[in-house]
Amino acid sequence: MKTVLFFCSLLMAGAAPAAHADKPQDYGWRIALTPQPGAGLNRMSLPTDVYLHARSSSLDDVRLFDSNGKPLPFAITAPPVQSRTQRDAIPVRIFPVLGKRAIFNGLDGVEIRTGTDGRLLSISPRSGTPGVTTPDLQALVLDMGWQDKDQRISALRFSLPGNTTNYNAQVLLEVSNDLKQWDAIATTTLNWLHNSDAQTLANDRVDFAPRSFRYARLSWQYGEPIAFAAIEAEHVSQTAIAAPRASIALRGTAGKRNGELLYATPIAIPADSISVEFDDSNTVLPVTLGVYDQRTDELPRHRLRLRQQVRTTQAAHFDPLLSTTFYRISVDGKERVSGQLSMPAVQTTQWVLRPQTDSAPALPEQAVLRLGWTPAQLIFLASGKPPYQLVFGKDGGSAAALPLSQVAPGFKPEELLALPAATPGQLVVLNGTAPVQKTPDGALLRLAALWAALLLGVAVLGFFAWRLLTQIRQEPRA
What is 111-161 written as a DSSP string?
A: EEEE-TTS-EEEEEEPTT-TT-SS-EEEEEEEE-----TTEEEEEEEEE--
Residue 337 has pLDDT above 80, yes or no: yes
Residue 316 has pLDDT above 80, yes or no: no
CA atoms within 13 A on the CB side of 192: 18
Query: Is 269 found in the same domain as 157?
Result: no
Q: Which of 36-40, 89-93, 182-186, 415-419 has the lowest mean pLDDT?
A: 36-40
Q: Quote the pLDDT of residue 368.
A: 92
In the chain, % of residues over pLDDT 90: 45
Residue 334 has pLDDT above 50, yes or no: yes
Confidence of residue 315 (pLDDT cuts 50, 70, 90): very low
Query: Is 192 found in the same domain as 139?
Result: yes
Query: Is 121 found in the same domain as 90?
Result: yes
Query: Is 253 found in the same domain as 342?
Result: yes
On whether residue 436 sits in a domain, the answer given is no
Of the spans 97-101, 108-112, 417-421, which averages the highest pLDDT?
A: 417-421
On whether residue 471 sits in a domain, the answer given is no
Residue 267 has pLDDT above 90, yes or no: yes
Query: Is 99 found in the same domain as 224?
Result: yes
Residue 10 has pLDDT above 50, yes or no: no
Query: Is 226 found in the same domain as 250?
Result: no
pTM given for the model: 0.65
Digit-coded pLDDT (tens) for 137-168: 889 999 998 877 778 999 999 999 988 888 99
On whether residue 103 sits in a domain, the answer given is yes
Q: Compute the Cα dihedral for 350, 353, 357, 361 and give only its sign.
A: negative
> In total, how many domains does the chain have?
3
Residue 300 has pLDDT above 60, yes or no: no
Q: Quote the pLDDT of residue 475.
A: 65
In one-letter notation, the amino acid at residue 286 is P
Range of the domain at 37: 24-79+378-429
CATH number of the domain at 213, please.
Answer: 2.60.120.260
**Burial readout 220-245 (b: 16 or more C-beta within 10 A, e: otherwise):** beeeebbebeebbbbbbbeeeeeeee
Residue 266 has pLDDT above 90, yes or no: yes
Confidence of residue 11 (pLDDT cuts 50, 70, 90): very low
In the chain, % of residues over pLDDT 70: 82
Q: Compute the Cα dihedral for 242, 243, 244, 246 and give only its sign.
A: negative
Of the spans 66-75, 308-317, 468-477, which averages the highest pLDDT?
A: 66-75
User: 390, 406 in Cβ contact below 8 A?
Assistant: no
On whether residue 43 sits in a domain, the answer given is yes
Q: Which of 132-136, 195-199, 209-213 has the lowest mean pLDDT?
A: 132-136
Query: Is 368 found in the same domain as 284?
Result: yes
Distance CA 382, CA 398 (A): 22
Confidence of residue 36 (pLDDT cuts 50, 70, 90): confident
Residue 454 has pLDDT above 50, yes or no: yes
Q: Quote the pLDDT of residue 254.
A: 86
On whether residue 442 sits in a domain, the answer given is no
Query: Is 308 found in the same domain as 219?
Result: no
* Structural domain ending residue among the three candidates 328, 346, 373: 373
User: 390, 62 in Cβ contact below 8 A?
Assistant: yes
Confidence of residue 307 (pLDDT cuts 50, 70, 90): very low
Query: Is 120 found in the same domain as 67?
Result: no
Query: Is 266 found in the same domain as 235?
Result: no
Distance CA 43, CA 33 (A): 10
Query: Is 47 found in the same domain as 101?
Result: no
